[in-house]
Chain A
Amino acid sequence: MARAVTSRRKALNTTLAWLVGFLIFFPILWTILTSFKTEADAIANPPVFLFFDWTLENYEVVQERSNYMRFLWNSIFIAGGSTILGLLVAIPAAWSMAFVPSRRTKDILLWMLSTKMLPAVGVLYPIYLLCIQLGVLDNRYALVVILMLINLPIIVWMLYTYFREIPGEILEAARMDGASLKDELLYVLTPMAIPGIASTLLLNFILAWNEAFWTLNLTAVDAAPLTAFIASYSSPEGLFFAKLSAASTMAIAPILILGWFSQKQLVRGLTFGAVK
Chain B
Amino acid sequence: MAPAVFLLLVWMLVPLSMTVWFSLRSYLPLRGGDQGFVGLENFVRFVSSSAFWPSIVTTLMIVGGALLISIVFGILLAILLDQPMWGQGVVRILVIAPFFVMPTVSALVWKNMFMDPVNGLFAHLWRFFGADPVVWLSEMPIFALVVIVSWQWLPFATLILLTAIQSLDGEQMEAAEMDGAGPLSRFFYLTLPHLSRAITIVILIQTIFLLAVFAEIFVTTGGAFGTRTLTYLIYQRVLESQNVGLGSAGGVYAIILANIIALFLMRIVGKNLDR
Contacts and interface: CB of A to CB of B under 8 A. Distances in A.
Q: Is the interface of A mostly helix, strand, loop or mixed?
A: helix
B181 to A, nearest CB: 18
B201 A274 contact: yes
A25 B197 CA distance: 28
Contact of B124 (A47, A125, A210, A213): A47
B262 interface: yes
A113 B145 CA distance: 25
Nearest to A45: B119
A263 B8 contact: no
A156 B113 contact: no
Contacts of A125: 22, 27, 29, 238, 244
Interface residues of B, number: 95
B29 to A, nearest CB: 7
Interface in B13-41: 14-16, 18-19, 22, 27, 29
A92 B1 CA distance: 6
B103 A210 contact: yes
B247 A122 contact: yes
A212 B106 contact: no
Q: Is the interface of B mostly helix, strand, loop or mixed?
A: helix
A122 B212 CA distance: 11
B167 interface: yes
Given A30-B113, A120-B212, A267-B162, A24 B262 contact: no
Interface in A8-29: 9-10, 13-14, 16-18, 20-22, 24-25, 27-28
B231 A119 contact: yes
Contacts of A89: 3-4, 7
A43 B227 CA distance: 27
B164 interface: yes
B113 A27 contact: yes
Interface string A254-275: 0110011001001110111111
Interface string A180-212: 000000000000000000000000001001101
B212 A117 contact: yes
B270 interface: yes
Nearest to B27: A125
A8 B5 CA distance: 55
Contacts of B69: none
A178 interface: no
A139 interface: no
Interface in B206-230: 208-209, 211-212, 214-215, 219, 230
B211 A117 contact: yes
Contact of B160 (A97, A152, A271): A271
A251 B103 CA distance: 12
Contacts of B77: 20
A149 interface: yes
B188 interface: no
A210 B209 CA distance: 13
B159 interface: yes
Contacts of A17: 80-81, 83, 85, 88, 91
A124 B239 contact: yes
Interface stretch (B131-139, B172-180, B252-260): B252-260
A142 interface: no
B163 A267 contact: yes
A212 B262 contact: no
A216 B159 CA distance: 30
B113 A34 contact: yes
Contacts of A9: 83-84
B239 A92 contact: no
Contacts of A20: 77, 80, 91, 95
B80 A16 contact: yes
B164 to A, nearest CB: 5
Interface of B: 1-5, 7-8, 11-12, 14-16, 18-19, 22, 27, 29, 77, 80-81, 83-88, 90-106, 108-110, 112-114, 118-119, 121, 124, 151, 154-155, 159-160, 162-164, 167, 197-198, 201, 204-205, 208-209, 211-212, 214-215, 219, 230-231, 234-235, 238-239, 244, 247-248, 250-251, 254-255, 258-259, 261-263, 266, 270, 273
Given A17-B91, A252-B105, A256-B100, 12 more contacts: A17-B81, A20-B95, A25-B97, A28-B101, A89-B4, A114-B262, A117-B259, A118-B12, A156-B4, A245-B109, A267-B159, A275-B167
Interface of A: 6, 9-10, 13-14, 16-18, 20-22, 24-25, 27-28, 30-31, 34, 43, 45-47, 89-90, 92-94, 96-97, 106, 108, 110, 112-127, 130, 149, 152-154, 156, 161, 206, 209-210, 212-213, 226-227, 230-231, 234-235, 241, 244-245, 248, 251-252, 255-256, 259-260, 263, 266-268, 270-276
Query: Would you list the 9 A-B pairs with minimal beta carbon distance, nearest first?
Result: A122-B251, A93-B4, A117-B258, A126-B18, A21-B94, A274-B198, A123-B15, A114-B262, A25-B94
17 contacts: A24-B95, A28-B101, A31-B109, A92-B1, A116-B212, A118-B16, A118-B251, A121-B231, A149-B8, A212-B102, A227-B102, A230-B104, A266-B159, A268-B163, A273-B201, A274-B163, A274-B198
